[in-house]
Chain A
Amino acid sequence: MNKMILGRYLPGDTWLHRLDPRTKISISFYFIVIIFFANNVLSYALLLAFTFGVIFSSGINQKFFFNGVRPLFLLILITVFFQLFLTRGGHIYWSFGPFALSQYGIRSSIYVFLRFMMIILMSTLLMLTTAPLMIADAIESLLSPLKRIHFPIDQIALMISLALRFVPTLMDETITIMNAQRARGVDFSDGGLIKRIKAMIPVLIPLFVNTFSRAGDLGTAMESRGYSGEGERTRYRKLTWARRDNIAWAVMLLLTGLLFILRN
């Protein structure tokens, strides 16, 4: 659990940290969309070069970063496996029942692998360099046009920021409760699947109970300080769109242009 960096934030002062969170979120989504336009070796090479360029220039500890995303690659490999053996077309090297190893299969599995890899690397980078509350602020700001159709953006943003705020708290609490149960003889790493799932019950029940009571306390605390869902809210942290954000988007548009030149 310690090695996982998905959803972790590393405070820092790199150019990626300084970018406006709205830029980072919108660019991440934009990038995920344009990944699907790549369709040959050159266009994939371009996107890969971009991805690694961003990672290396971000100043994040490389070893920590790549060790941290490694567990996620296992998930991709499962998808790739199906892609590899269930796609037919071109020259067929080997086949057995529904499974076949074909020219197209190999190519598309490599492409799928690269796509997933780039998406995971980019979104991990986004989470690592953006404080959770900034993400919530950015989502609120990006969704604000929906206010026109009376979509409750404020409440949703509050829910997101509360949820993000309590992730580390819940992680700590899980570890504390697991330790308490370990001290009472529970062995989480022993036995078969069923036994391990059963071993989680003494952790999950207190965790649920505490979470509900904490949510209740939080609600009371907010109400006692006069919070209500209605009303215009001003904010303490203001998001500011700077020149570097324009530059970032200009780079993205340039990348898109190049991509469309290189693709078939």
Chain B
Amino acid sequence: MDIEFQNVSYIYDANTPIASVGLKNINLTIKQGTYAAIIGHTGSGKSTLLQHLNALLKPTTGKVKIEDREITAQTNNKRLKEIRHRVGIVFQFAEHQLFEETVGKDIAFGPQNFGVSESDSLDLAHQMLAKVGLSDELFNISPFDLSGGQMRRVAIAGVLALQPEVLVLDEPTAGLDPQSRKDMMALFAQLHQEQGITIILVTHQMEDVANFAEQVYVLEQGQLIRTGHPEDVFFDETFIQQHQLGVPQATSFALSLRQRGLKLPSLPLTEADLVQALTTYFGKGSVKHE
């Protein structure tokens, strides 16, 4: 399911004195099966853009094409359910969406809204709970008795249970401990690889962009200022400095090595790349780990 933005602009509180621009003339295409990352500073329009991906917001001007459905300012609010079924969104602090009596019921809530029978949806809930790495013993307890990290996992399971074709993640790992962060990112990567799910990740973690994303979109003040592969974006030093963006640790490490006169043949994006580059440099490829 391809998603295409054509000249999309969004204005908050349009036609009032407090109107403010959310998005300005965005054009982009996210192809089916891509792992895309959206980066940009706070207030750059990332969350506004993300809400256009399943018609929670409709463009003030321009149109969003989600496969063959066109969303414009005139689009009726009814019949958007199908889009929302196929595009799942994990919001920032997703644990705030939990409300049911038990963890299982909460995970099953989404599928039931889209017409899955109660028993099928509960089966799904068991599967998803396992998928996000939580024990099945939690199935019948109240989500409000869980720890913050567990709640986040349950909320993510609730969106995964929709079995979306496109999974949109708004800083899904913010505030999680390092292990949970790793687990969650590995889970998303697995869904992407095994089921070909399109992943759209909004993040401030440049490591995650470097490790997983195939395409990066950089937003600034509501405008799309750069699109490209992570290498193209992160290795463009002038661009990064101009817009005060961060780079992955491996890249920044290599850059400081270069500053000190180490002539690395290529810049690394990930830790593995960095190790590779260093071994090539020092041992001309002949260094072996003992």
Partner of B99 from A10, A190, A205 at Cβ < 8 Å: A205
Mask for B107-127, Cβ within 8 A of A = 1, else 0? 001101110000000000000
> Could you say which interface size class chain A belongs to?
20 to 34
Inter-chain contact total with CB atoms closer than 8 Å: 67
Tell me if A209 and B144 are in contact (CB < 8 A): yes
A193 near B: Cβ within 8 Å?
no
- Within A95-126, the residues touching B (CB, 8 Å) are none
- Give which listed residue, A61, A179, A180, A189, contacts B77 with CB less than 8 A: A189
Hey, which chain B residues are within 8 Å of A2, CB to CB? 13
On whether the beta carbons of A180 and B96 are closer than 8 Å, the reply is yes
CB distance from A245 to the nearest CB of B (A): 26
How many angstroms from the CA of A210 to the CA of B148 in the assembled complex? Answer: 13
User: With the chains together, A176 CA to B17 CA distance in Å?
Assistant: 23
Residues of B within 8 A of A61 (CB): 16-17
Provide the bound-state CA to CA distance between A180 and B92, in Å: 10
| A187 CB-CB contact with B under 8 Å | yes
Given known pairs A10-B18, A64-B17, A209-B144, the reply for A180 and B99 (CB within 8 Å) is: no
C-alpha gap A61/B17 in the complex (Å): 7
Chain B CB within 10 Å — which of A180, A181, A190 has the most? A180
Choose one: B13, B84, B96, B144; the contact of A183 (CB below 8 Å). B84
Q: Which residue of A lies closest to B55 (CB)?
A: A182
Residues of A within 8 A of B18 (CB): 10
In whole angstroms, what is the CA distance A126 to B18 when docked? 17
Tell me the complex Cα distance, A10–B19, Å.
11
A55 interface residue (CB < 8 Å to B): no
User: Is B128 close to A, CB under 8 A?
Assistant: no
What number of B residues sit within 8 Å (CB to CB) of A?
30
Q: In the complex the two chains form, is B109's CB within 8 Å of A10's CB?
A: no
Task: Check B98 for interface membership: any CB of A closer than 8 A.
Answer: yes
B89 close to A (CB within 8 Å): yes
Give every chain A residue within 8 A of B109 (Cβ-Cβ). Answer: 184, 202
Task: Write the A165-182 contact mask toward B (1 if CB under 8 angstroms, else 0).
Answer: 000000001001101111
The docked-state distance in angstroms from the alpha carbon of A181 to that of B109 is 9
Is B88 on the interface with A (CB-CB < 8 A)?
yes
Residues of A within 8 A of B258 (CB): none
The chain B residue sitting closest to A63, CB to CB, is B15
Residue B162 CB within 8 A of the other chain: yes
The listed residue (A185, A201, A202) touching B84 by CB distance below 8 A is A185
Q: Is B54 an interface residue (CB 8 A)?
A: yes
How far, in whole Å, are A177 and B51 apart by their CA atoms in the complex? 13
What separation, in Å, do the CA atoms of A201 and B96 have in the docked complex?
A: 13
Contact with B along A1-43 (1 / 0, CB 8 A): 0100000001000000000000000000000000000000000
A197 and B96 alpha carbons, distance in the complex (Å): 20
Contact B91 A180 (CB under 8 A): yes
CB distance B17 to A180 under 8 Å? no
Does B36 reach chain A (CB closer than 8 Å)?
Answer: no
Alpha-carbon separation in the docked complex, A179 to B109 (Å): 15
Closest A residue to B112 by beta carbon equals A185
Known contacts A2-B13, A202-B99; A184/B144 CB under 8 A: no
Given contacts A61-B16, A183-B84, A206-B97, contact A176 B110 (CB under 8 A): no
Contact with A along B24-59 (1 / 0, CB 8 A): 000000000000000000000000000100101000
Contact B17 A183 (CB under 8 A): no
B153 on interface, CB distance cutoff 8 Å: no
B162 near A179 with CB under 8 A, answer no
Complex Cα gap A180–B77 (Å): 16
For A143, list chain B residues within 8 Å (CB): none
- The answer to whether A185 and B99 have CB atoms under 8 Å apart is no
B230 interfacial by beta-carbon distance below 8 Å: no
Chain A residue numbers with a CB within 8 Å of B114 are 185
Q: Is B158 an interface residue (CB 8 A)?
A: yes
B113 to chain A, nearest CB (A): 3
12 residue pairs bridging A and B, Cβ less than 8 Å apart: A176-B91, A179-B51, A180-B91, A182-B84, A183-B88, A183-B159, A184-B109, A184-B158, A190-B78, A201-B99, A202-B97, A209-B144
Q: Which residues of B contact A (CB under 8 A)?
A: 13, 15-18, 51, 54, 56, 77-78, 81, 84-85, 88-89, 91, 94, 96-99, 109-110, 112-114, 144, 158-159, 162
10 A-B pairs with least C-beta separation: A185-B113, A184-B110, A205-B99, A180-B97, A183-B89, A61-B17, A202-B99, A185-B114, A180-B91, A64-B16
- Known: A183-B56, A190-B78; 18 extra A-B contacts, CB below 8 A, are A61-B16, A63-B15, A173-B96, A176-B91, A177-B96, A177-B97, A180-B89, A180-B91, A182-B56, A183-B84, A183-B159, A184-B109, A184-B110, A184-B159, A185-B81, A185-B162, A189-B77, A209-B144
A residues with CB within 8 A of B = 2, 10, 61, 63-64, 173, 176-177, 179-187, 189-190, 201-202, 205-206, 209-210
